[in-house]
Amino acid sequence: MKTSIKAFIFDVYGTLFDVHSLKKVCNDLYPEKGDEISQSWRAKQIEYFFLRQLMGNYEPFLKITHDALKYAIKEHHEQLDEQNEKQLLEAYLQLSPYPEVQSVLKQLGHKQLVVFSNGSHDMLDPLIQNSGLSNFFDYTISIDEVKQYKPTLTSYRHALDTLGVKREEVLFMSSNGWDISGAKNFGFQTAWINRNNLPTEELNLVPDSIYSDLTGILEWK
């Protein structure tokens, strides 16, 4: 039941923060290619942590983000010098929250609010601090603490153990269909923030709720 929720767990990239808000920096550095570089960067970032998880070859999210950037630049036949590299990686610490995020967090202030991400703390902590949202969250949980990327069972178990609640007392939110599938498979209640109006994944793990942005989750409060 919606009234049984004790912990609201938020994914970060694509859920709270727009990963493509760095398109402007990409376009400033690589005119007319910035949008494509941003898309390639994010796609390769996800692919690399999936591959590393499958291969048992863990690296923190910062390293994966760096490697994905290098690939994306090469894919689009550009050069990545030290200054551009530094500027682009720093842009990941300045991502823009989606417009509704602060208002939604304020309205959920009486609940336990948690960040749970594949991001490592050296990326998550400054991002949340720079956005002015850090005071809203009771916990910032990184999979780097167990070195098991979502959607592994171990990753979600780590979040649950940290919070000390029951699986069914968690509402897990993500814009990523694969993450919602993983959380549902683990036993969390799930709200898919379907910002891009995509079809549900064909994994027989249907989200409990689907919303176009985070304002929909207020019915769970």
Report the pLDDT value the prediction gives residue 2, as an integer from 0 to 100. Answer: 63
Say if residue 98's pLDDT is above 70. Answer: yes
By the 10 Å C-beta count (0-12 exposed, 13-18 middle, 19+ buried), 176 is classed as buried
Question: How does DSSP assign 10-62, residue by residue?
Answer: E--BTTTEEGGGGHHHHHHHSTTTHHHHHHHHHHHHHHHHHHHHHHT----HH
pLDDT for 221 beyond 90:
no
Catalytic pick from 11, 18, 144, 179?
11
Could you tell me the maximum CA-CA distance found in the chain, to the nearest angstrom? 53
- Mean pLDDT over residues 94-103, rounded? 97
Q: Which domains, and CATH codes, for the chain?
A: 2-16+98-220 (3.40.50.1000), 19-91 (1.10.150.240)
Mean pLDDT over residues 173-192, rounded?
98
> What pLDDT is recorded for position 3?
58
Q: In the structure, what pLDDT confidence band is assigned to residue 183 with cuts at 50, 70 and 90?
A: very high
So what's the pLDDT on residue 204?
Answer: 97
- Percentage of residues of the chain with pLDDT beyond 70: 99
165 three-class SS: coil
11 is catalytic: yes
pLDDT tens digits, one per residue of 131-166: 999 999 999 999 999 999 999 999 999 999 999 999
User: pLDDT tens digits for 9-59?
Assistant: 999 999 999 999 999 999 999 999 999 999 999 999 999 999 999 999 999
Q: Is 1's pLDDT higher than 60?
A: no
